[in-house]
Structure 1
Amino acid sequence: MTDRAAAIQGDDTLTEADRQGLYRVLLSRRDVRGQFLPDPIPDEVLARVLTAAHYAPSVGFMQPWSFILVRSPEVRGRIRQAFAKANDEAAEMFEGEARATYRSLKLEGILESPINICVTCDRDRVGPVVLGRTHIPTMDLYSTVCAVENLWLAARAEGLGLGWVSIISEPALKDILGLPERVVPVAYLCLGRVSHFFAQPELESKGWRKRLPLADLVTLDRWEGERDEALGAELAKAQARAEGGAPM
């Protein structure tokens, strides 16, 4: 392996506007289900979003991801049927009021969005021994999730909504999309223009779950370790700004 000096970035200083813009995208990202518009996504916009996904970090620079663009009404119809079956099964796992609330939720936009994207992980892309995956073999899956997050944030920056459909049988999804055994469907996403973005995550506004206090989740040195009280106070203030839409 040759020893080459790596080029460095020129002006790597982000402006205050850059910084606040990034936080705005992060904090206004939503899981979109019911607000999709049928407008097609221009190829140049889709290319930017997919490029952002491709530039995600990956352990060992393995880049295990691929992106299947699902436009066919027939294929999306089969995906929607697989979702409906899994969704009925999932509803039965809850009881009482939780089951009723679950059934009231819209949890996908498979047919309403103009395009679906399946983000996959090829677990054999770079062979059996991968730098950084020698002791934690699931690092390729985690790397692929980084690509999903990049795609999601870029979509929000472009004014696009994105929804992650996770209530679906993995074998059914693999069969419909013709995935080989070594390839894992990490995320099935619905992407498109939307009529609006909600101020809060829908599951929070509908009472399914509340956002946890960040200060309760940060400890020192070990699980259930001590908490840094001064940092905890800053975490609480930062979360309050995030919740209130104030600049970070």
Structure 2
Amino acid sequence: MLDKSASDAFGDAEAFTAEERAALYKAIYTRRDVRDEFLPRPVPDDVLKRLLDAAHHAPSVGFMQPWNFVVIRDESRRAHIHSLFMHANEEAVAMFPPEQRALYRSLKLEGIRKAPVNLCITCDRTRGGKVVLGRTHNAQMDLYSTVCAVQNLWLAARAEGIGVGWVSILHDDALRQALSIPAHVEIIAYLCLGYVDQHYLRPELEAKGWRRRLPLEELIFEEEWQQPK
């Protein structure tokens, strides 16, 4: 049975002011994946703590809060992880058609060594016990919850003027070994964090012709799945 005192604890439900709404949407629409444009300026501990606290306030199934945050600042460790990235990136190049490889190689896809802070966000799938409220019929909900934490952090970082880059071109096993992550813990995101002096007006991959943003109207279906037009 839920604790009645907790269930009765309500706060202010007033809508945001126009200025507050504008600030929220500005963070959403101007959020970018920063790949290599980090400044050497360090991220203060109090600012990093605010970002992690924003992540920690993400919604989570069954309130299990499955995330952990591995903060990496050591230059030698970042250099090692950079080498893991370079190995995986060479594999990735070969996966694309020959006509795309030159454009792929021109993209700056990581800032592991330039960003003053690297952050690995994980999901402990055992947290909350064997049966978790809300996860009884969809075992992936803890993973989705942790991705919400990533998004919270990313939007907070945008508001703080800090760029974030998500490095996904890594072998999980190699990264797990480099950071001593237990086998039952899933790696969700490896992020680079640091101050930047500018953001792309559009996503970099769109600006450089890799892909375009899909029209929203083509992605909305009414009542049931429909064949895309």
Relative to the length of structure 2, the TM-score reads 0.96
Picking from 61, 64, 70, the partner of 1:59 is: 61
Give the SS at the match of 1:92. Answer: helix
What is residue 212 of structure 1 aligned with on the other side? 214
Give the SS at the match of 1:77. Answer: helix
What CA distance in whole angstroms lies between the structure 2 residues aligned with 1:76 and 1:114? 10
CA deviation string 1:74-133 (max 9, x = no partner): 111111011000000000001122111111111000000000000000010111111111
Q: Report how far residue 3 of structure 1 moved.
A: 2.7
Q: Aligned pair in 2 of structure 1 residues 225, 209: CA closer, same or farther (>3 Å)?
A: closer
CA deviation string 1:37-79 (max 9, x = no partner): 1111111111111110000011111100000000111111111
2:78 corresponds to 1:87: no
Contact 1:220-1:226 within 8 A present in 2 as well:
no
Q: Report how far residue 6 of structure 1 moved.
A: 1.8
Which aligned pairs between 1:133-144 and structure 2 lie closer than 5 A?
133-144=135-146
What is residue 154 of structure 1 aligned with on the other side? 156
What CA distance in whole angstroms lies between the structure 2 residues aligned with 1:58 and 1:74? 34
Q: Which amino acid aligns with 1:49?
A: L
Counting matched residue pairs gives 227
What CA distance in whole angstroms lies between the structure 1 residues aligned with 2:40 and 2:124? 31
Picking from 96, 99, 110, the partner of 1:97 is: 99
What CA distance in whole angstroms lies between the structure 1 residues aligned with 2:84 and 2:8? 48
What CA distance in whole angstroms lies between the structure 1 residues aligned with 2:227 and 2:38? 44
Higher relative contact order (CA 8 A, sep 6+): 2
Contact 1:36-1:161 within 8 A present in 2 as well:
yes
What CA distance in whole angstroms lies between the structure 1 residues aligned with 2:15 and 2:107? 43
- Show structure 2 runs of 5+ residues with no match: none
Give the SS at the match of 2:95. Answer: coil
Which aligned pairs between 1:164-243 and structure 2 lie closer than 5 A?
164-224=166-226
What CA distance in whole angstroms lies between the structure 2 residues aligned with 1:103 and 1:35? 17
Contact 1:76-1:111 within 8 A present in 2 as well:
yes
Q: Report how far residue 12 of structure 1 moved.
A: 2.5
Q: Report how far residue 225 of structure 1 moved.
A: 6.7
Give the SS at the match of 2:166. Answer: strand
What CA distance in whole angstroms lies between the structure 1 residues aligned with 2:91 and 2:13? 53
Q: Which amino acid aligns with 2:4?
A: D
What CA distance in whole angstroms lies between the structure 2 residues aligned with 1:34 and 1:74? 18
What CA distance in whole angstroms lies between the structure 2 residues aligned with 1:11 and 1:149? 23
What CA distance in whole angstroms lies between the structure 1 residues aligned with 2:35 and 2:206? 14
What CA distance in whole angstroms lies between the structure 2 residues aligned with 1:102 and 1:36? 20
- Show structure 1 runs of 5+ residues with no match: 228-248
Contact 2:219-2:228 within 8 A present in 1 as well:
no
What CA distance in whole angstroms lies between the structure 2 residues aligned with 1:58 and 1:67? 15
What CA distance in whole angstroms lies between the structure 1 residues aligned with 2:141 and 2:100? 34
Identity of aligned residues (%): 55
Q: CA RMSD in A?
A: 1.4
Give the SS at the match of 1:185. Answer: strand
CA deviation string 1:169-203 (max 9, x = no partner): 01001000000010111000000001211101110
Give the SS at the match of 1:41. Answer: coil
Relative to the length of structure 1, the TM-score reads 0.89
What is residue 233 of structure 1 aligned with on the other side? none
What is residue 109 of structure 1 aligned with on the other side? 111
